[in-house]
A and B are shown apart, each in its own frame.
Chain A
Amino acid sequence: MNEPRLDPDQLLARVERDKAKAKRGRLKIFFGAAAGVGKSYAMLLAARERRAENLDVIVGLVETHGRADTEALLAGLEILPTRKIDYKGAVLQEFDIDAALKRRPAIILVDELAHTNAPGSRHPKRWQDIRELLEAGIDVYTALNVQHLESLNDDVGQIAGVRIWETVPDTVFEDADEVELVDLPPDELLLRLREGKVYLPQQAQHAIQNFFRKGNLIALRELALRQTTNRVDAQMLDYREDNAIREVWQVNERLMVCIGPNVLAERLVRAGKRLATSLRSAWIVVYVETPELARLPAEKRDGILRVLRLAEQLGAETVTLSAPEMSEALIRFARERNINKIVVGKPSRRGWRRWLLGSVVDVLISHAHNINIYLLGSPQLGEREELEAELSLFKKTPLPGLRQRIPSKTRRRYRGYLWAMAVTLLCTAVGKMLFGKVELANVVMVYLLGVVFVATHFGRGPSVLASLLSVGVFDVLFVQPFYSLSVADSQYLITLLAMLVVAIVISNLMVNVRAQAKVAAHRERRAAALYAMSKELAVAQSERQIVATAVKHLYAEFSSRNVILFANPAGRLIYPKQHSLPQSLRGADLSVAQWVYDHNEMAGHGTHTLPGSAAIYFPIQDEDKAIGVLALLPVNLRRVFLPEQQKLLETFLRQIGQAVARLRFAEQAKSTQLQIEAERLRNSLLSAISHDLRTPLSTIIGSASALVEDDGHLQAQHRLELGRAIYDEAERMANLVNNILDMARLDAGVVELNKQWHPVEEIIGTVLTRLQKHLARRKVSVSLPPGIPLVFVDAVMIEQVLINLLENAVRYTAAGSELEVFAQNVGNTMEISVADHGPGIPKGLEDKLFEKFYQARHESAQSGVGLGLAICRAIVEVHGGRIRASNKPSGGAIFTLTLPNDESPPLMEPEE
């Protein structure tokens, strides 16, 4: 019962892929061996069929090349107007992607997949336009010739002797949902060519002599057929996988391509791609930067960068390792990642040098057991130079922004040579002093010390100079015959040779050590930068803080001006409202940023999308979903696009993304908490007011009906009593409603304080006047120290607090018992207290009292919703003060509000 089963991870990946595909538009490629085989024709025929099926088919762009039969097929199809771009005086007609996205047809025809867009277009390449159309869910029909496939670039170059510059990544071809091979035997194609059906006659003649040679056509046709077969194979495999047919290929196939800073790198990558495709395996392109390689000139390093980017385009994972020893690093990496196939170039060292110095390949072969090693033939010597001269990525125009050279260190080096001379001079002086007193060998040692010193401090050049000078001077001054370079005793030749070797070995060692130290220091700095940022991000309490932290650290690390944009609820990115930092980037292009946000892909300067913009835009992601965009304006693109820097930036972005996500989760949790709280409050409000509103209403309705329905039996005294009942209850209700409204207003935070300077005495006076009726049978003693300062408050609100406190005191204390109101200035605060001689506050409830809907005694006939004290607290708190309740030692409760009073009172002009 050993049913072959798919690995669950694979199954999941498949489901995800199918899901992604279902949303995407479908891509159909009409694939041919060469121009003129009838791709456009076939495409238009297919389009007409779809049209006949009533599908919304439009023509985005079709090149008819003036062919009449093709043009005839265009009739009756909707054609999207092209975008006209004025480029250096010429008007170029380009496919209008925005119009297409706006029009949103079911199917769109866009010819020439490999086309390069005019400068200033959104994407440099048409296949990128098409990818965007697909992502928008639009089906696309397009056409492609085999020679434009990226991985076949070398082969086609070899066959046709022509280098094709317009290429399409293989992934586009592989991800196509359908590939229709448009095949035409070479003879027929040539016939069509001669008949002028492909090009105009004179062009045709030229073409037949060059690209369209029969041999070429046969080879290209074979390539096209093979490519299509490969696809069919892959589909077959997919099918088998889908149907759980036992796999023939290994599941964990992993391929590693090792590249170096030479012309072979590009070929290795393409070969690796082909091998990976045929093996259906994941592949990794690895570059080991040894200390020597780290010292390469900038253009060589840029070349590597470019090859790594090409590899990424072809679907590889790229890794840059920094290690002193190449083969060791490769083997370690291969083991870590379970690599079972390695593609390397043939060793470049030959003969004795290979024997003596070894080669990476040899070490790999002898150490990497269980790993198959593929060697890619290196070109012949002459050919190699030719390649280097003509084709290599290393010679292409530099990456934008990578032009700046690192300033040369000639001055420092110059100084090193001077030092070499000085040291030799010093050694000579010392030697001269010792000469005759000690053995000559010890004089040699003095020079050796000098050479070692120079080697350790100034590197190879100066140390070689020092050793040569030392040997020379030593020979002239200390070896007979004196003052001559001739060496009488040939044994000193050994001394000279040894000195030279020591100088070179030590300086080499030192240089390597220093380079490694530099690399280590760089790494440590990066790690430190990352650590510093993550530490700050971890404690950031707001998006604003996160942005400030990120912008600051990005500036420190990449010397770039930055801005981080977040989307509003509608999904539109907006510029941050807060004041920008000195390191902030002003004037980021929101439309580019929006594109990045929507597509969750980087864009801008130095990328393949909208390279015309000044800044680079990166999506900030949380779990692969874009949650914001970083716009970064680098001073030097190298600082962003060097592999190690790019990794660092990625880590930065991940950290920022996580910090923002963490914050949003926290906010969400908080708002959920608040909602629950609000819900709870609403419930208690409803239960409280339903009781407290109904009770007075019953009295009012009952008493009023007694008055209304009276047929003359009610005595005047009873009528008065009923009227009073109505009046009292209505007043109670009015108070209740007022309290609820006040609380709502305070809760909503819409209360605006009208703070002014008031005498405390007047506030208390107003309160007592307003409560006259309430306090009718109470003695209220007020004590204010003389010369008590003014308070800066909203008097109406503070009066409300005192009214609530006094009403409470009246409610909860025995009739006739005395109440006290007093105030005092304590430091920078004003304390106003209301005290009573009642039963006091039950223990432990001092704080609970101020909660909404809390009533100390529920059975109390004197009802209130329990909002009074909550309102007091809210009012005092908007004033920046505190309110607390406690029991006096002598009995009774005391409520004290403490109001900040640290502003200096206004000056008064003295009278007269």
Chain B
Amino acid sequence: MAKTHPVIVVIEDDPPIRRFLRTSLATHNFAVFEAETGKQGLIEAGVRKPDLLILDLGLPDMDGVEVIKSVRGWSAMPIIVLSARSNEQQKIDALDAGADDYLTKPFGFGELLARIRVALRHASRPAEHTQDEVFIVDALKVDLRNRVVSVDGNEIHLTPIQYRLLCVLIKHAGKVLTHQQILKEVWGPSYQENPHYLRIYMSQLRQKLESDPTQPKYLLTESGVGYRFKVG
């Protein structure tokens, strides 16, 4: 029984939020373990070997980013961070340190559940396997083996960089990627200072793939943080 339910460790210092997470996650058949501080949380994460970690960035004893780095030192478990509003840099730091996703407080439970599912799916299915597949979302179809992209059956011509960008986003579909992460993967480390490259290519990609680029269905902007390929 214990193994069939995914295990989640919640590191959060605010008791009402812990209570809300515990109650709602338990009803969805997650085994929840709680920690109030970063140190305690690291111990819990080490002992329970959870399937997923929910981490509040504003902890009393240590910086949440440090917790992420520490965990990433020995585990690739998905980490979802909770952060306060209007603190984009904190989110970016957490994502760059290895967090998989973030949620801005206050958030609804539905949102959290969606993020948890995406993260767990990614964890159970390592990214490399997607290389050989054909990726289909709604009208968009990407044949990764033959490098063919089509919308509603019409083949779309993409430049190499546009295609590379699309592949990176698909590889991490559902997950938020920071500008830096994408720049590094598509253009290489020397382009880290040019986020407008990314924005312009993203805009080109939207023009080609989205029916209305101002109301994108696939290529979503995470304001101030990065991009996310929306699935489901």
Contacts of A759 in B (CB 8 A): 199-200, 203
With A738-B85, A911-B161 as given contacts, are A782 and B199 in contact (CB-CB < 8 Å)?
no
In the complex, whether A766 has a CB less than 8 A from a CB of chain B is yes
B214: contacting residue among A734, A745, A765, CB under 8 A = A765
| Residue of chain A at shortest CB distance from B202 | A762
Residues of A within 8 A of B (CB): 727, 730-731, 734, 738, 741-742, 745, 754, 756-759, 761-762, 764-766, 768-770, 780, 782, 784, 790, 795-796, 799, 821, 905-906, 908, 911-912
Q: Is the CB of B106 within 8 A of A730?
A: yes
Q: Is the CB of B199 within 8 A of A757?
A: yes
With A761-B214, A762-B203, A911-B160 as given contacts, are A756 and B196 in contact (CB-CB < 8 Å)?
yes
Q: Is the CB of A764 within 8 A of B214?
A: yes
| Interface 1/0 per residue, B173-208 and A, CB below 8 Å | 000000000000000000000111101101100100
Q: Give the complex CA separation of A757 and B196 in angstroms.
A: 6
Q: How far is the CB of A770 from chain B (nearest CB, A)?
A: 7
With A734-B106, A911-B159 as given contacts, are A765 and B221 in contact (CB-CB < 8 Å)?
yes
Q: Is the CB of B224 within 8 A of A762?
A: no
Q: Is the CB of A769 within 8 A of B224?
A: no
With A756-B196, A790-B196, A911-B160 as given contacts, are A762 and B215 in contact (CB-CB < 8 Å)?
no
Beyond known contacts A756-B196, A796-B88: 20 more, CB 8 A cutoff: A730-B106, A731-B106, A741-B86, A756-B195, A757-B195, A757-B196, A761-B214, A762-B202, A765-B213, A765-B215, A765-B216, A765-B221, A766-B223, A768-B215, A769-B220, A780-B215, A796-B224, A908-B196, A911-B159, A912-B159
Listed residue (B106, B214, B216) with the most chain A CB atoms within 10 angstroms of its CB: B214
Q: Give the complex CA separation of A186 and B40 in angstroms.
A: 97
With A796-B223, A799-B223, A911-B159 as given contacts, are A758 and B199 in contact (CB-CB < 8 Å)?
yes
Q: How far is the CB of B68 from chain A (nearest CB, A)?
A: 22
Q: Is the CB of B216 within 8 A of A795?
A: no
**A-B residue pairs in contact (CB < 8 Å), sample of 22:** A734-B106, A745-B86, A754-B224, A756-B196, A758-B196, A761-B203, A761-B213, A762-B206, A764-B214, A765-B206, A766-B220, A766-B223, A768-B215, A769-B216, A770-B223, A782-B214, A782-B215, A784-B214, A790-B196, A790-B200, A795-B223, A912-B159
Residues of B within 8 A of A (CB): 85-86, 88, 106, 108, 159-161, 194-197, 199-200, 202-203, 206, 212-216, 220-221, 223-224
Contacts of A734 in B (CB 8 A): 106
B221: contacting residue among A745, A762, A782, A912, CB under 8 A = A762
A769: contacting residue among B86, B88, B200, B221, CB under 8 A = B221
With A769-B216, A784-B214, A799-B223 as given contacts, are A762 and B196 in contact (CB-CB < 8 Å)?
no
Q: Give the complex CA separation of A734 and B108 in angstroms.
A: 12
Q: How far is the CB of B157 from chain A (nearest CB, A)?
A: 13
Q: How many A-B residue pairs have CB under 8 A?
A: 74
Q: How far is the CB of B196 from chain A (nearest CB, A)?
A: 4
Please give me the 6 A-B residue pairs with the lowest Cβ-Cβ distance, nearest first.
A757-B196, A796-B224, A766-B221, A782-B214, A759-B203, A765-B214
Q: How far is the CB of A338 from chain B (nearest CB, A)?
A: 74
Q: How far is the CB of A230 from chain B (nearest CB, A)?
A: 80
Q: Give the complex CA separation of A758 and B194 in angstroms.
A: 12
Contacts of B106 in A (CB 8 A): 730-731, 734
Q: How far is the CB of B107 from chain A (nearest CB, A)?
A: 10
Contacts of B161 in A (CB 8 A): 911
Contacts of B197 in A (CB 8 A): 908
A906: contacting residue among B108, B160, B194, CB under 8 A = B194
| Residue of chain B at shortest CB distance from A742 | B86
| Residue of chain A at shortest CB distance from B191 | A909
Q: Give the complex CA separation of A795 and B199 in angstroms.
A: 12
B200: contacting residue among A766, A821, A908, CB under 8 A = A908
Q: Give the complex CA separation of A756 and B179 in angstroms.
A: 12
Q: How far is the CB of A700 from chain B (nearest CB, A)?
A: 13
Q: Give the complex CA separation of A905 and B194 in angstroms.
A: 12
Q: Give the complex CA separation of A906 and B193 in angstroms.
A: 12
With A765-B206, A906-B196 as given contacts, are A795 and B214 in contact (CB-CB < 8 Å)?
no
Q: Give the complex CA separation of A734 and B106 in angstroms.
A: 8
Q: Give the complex CA separation of A585 and B220 in angstroms.
A: 60
Q: How far is the CB of A53 from chain B (nearest CB, A)?
A: 62
Q: How far is the CB of B169 from chain A (nearest CB, A)?
A: 15
| Residue of chain B at shortest CB distance from A781 | B214
B224: contacting residue among A730, A741, A784, A795, CB under 8 A = A795
Q: Give the complex CA separation of A796 and B108 in angstroms.
A: 21
Q: Give the complex CA separation of A739 and B66 in angstroms.
A: 31
Q: Give the complex CA separation of A790 and B204 in angstroms.
A: 13
Contacts of B88 in A (CB 8 A): 754, 796
Q: Give the complex CA separation of A755 and B209 in angstroms.
A: 28
| Residue of chain B at shortest CB distance from A803 | B223
Q: Give the complex CA separation of A766 and B221 in angstroms.
A: 6
Contacts of A770 in B (CB 8 A): 223
Contacts of B203 in A (CB 8 A): 759, 761-762
Q: Give the complex CA separation of A762 and B223 in angstroms.
A: 10
Q: Give the complex CA separation of A766 and B220 in angstroms.
A: 7
Q: Give the complex CA separation of A730 and B105 in angstroms.
A: 12
Contacts of A911 in B (CB 8 A): 159-161
Q: How far is the CB of B72 from chain A (nearest CB, A)?
A: 26
Q: Give the complex CA separation of A759 and B216 in angstroms.
A: 14
Q: Give the complex CA separation of A754 and B223 in angstroms.
A: 12
Q: Is the CB of A768 within 8 A of B214?
A: yes
Q: How far is the CB of A394 from chain B (nearest CB, A)?
A: 77
Q: How far is the CB of B173 from chain A (nearest CB, A)?
A: 17
Q: Give the complex CA separation of A731 and B111 in angstroms.
A: 14
Q: Give the complex CA separation of A693 and B145 in angstroms.
A: 56
| Residue of chain A at shortest CB distance from B215 | A768
Contacts of B195 in A (CB 8 A): 756-757
| Residue of chain B at shortest CB distance from A909 | B197
Contacts of A799 in B (CB 8 A): 223
Q: Give the complex CA separation of A443 and B74 in angstroms.
A: 123
| Residue of chain A at shortest CB distance from B213 | A761
Contacts of B86 in A (CB 8 A): 741-742, 745, 796
Q: Give the complex CA separation of A734 and B159 in angstroms.
A: 44
Contacts of A784 in B (CB 8 A): 214
Q: How far is the CB of B135 from chain A (nearest CB, A)?
A: 21
| Residue of chain A at shortest CB distance from B196 | A757
Q: Give the complex CA separation of A784 and B207 in angstroms.
A: 13
Listed residue (B88, B203, B212, B221) with the most chain A CB atoms within 10 angstroms of its CB: B221
| Residue of chain A at shortest CB distance from B212 | A782
| Residue of chain B at shortest CB distance from A784 | B214
Q: Give the complex CA separation of A731 and B108 in angstroms.
A: 10
Contacts of B214 in A (CB 8 A): 761, 764-765, 768, 782, 784, 821
Q: How far is the CB of B2 from chain A (nearest CB, A)?
A: 31
Listed residue (B195, B200, B212) with the most chain A CB atoms within 10 angstroms of its CB: B200
Contacts of B200 in A (CB 8 A): 759, 790, 908
Q: Give the complex CA separation of A911 and B200 in angstroms.
A: 12
Contacts of A727 in B (CB 8 A): 108
Q: Give the complex CA separation of A795 and B227 in angstroms.
A: 14
| Residue of chain A at shortest CB distance from B207 | A761
Contacts of B85 in A (CB 8 A): 738
Q: How far is the CB of A796 from chain B (nearest CB, A)?
A: 4
Contacts of A764 in B (CB 8 A): 214
Q: How far is the CB of B195 from chain A (nearest CB, A)?
A: 6
| Residue of chain A at shortest CB distance from B230 | A769
Q: How far is the CB of B93 from chain A (nearest CB, A)?
A: 14
Q: How far is the CB of A352 from chain B (nearest CB, A)?
A: 99
Contacts of B215 in A (CB 8 A): 765, 768-769, 780, 782
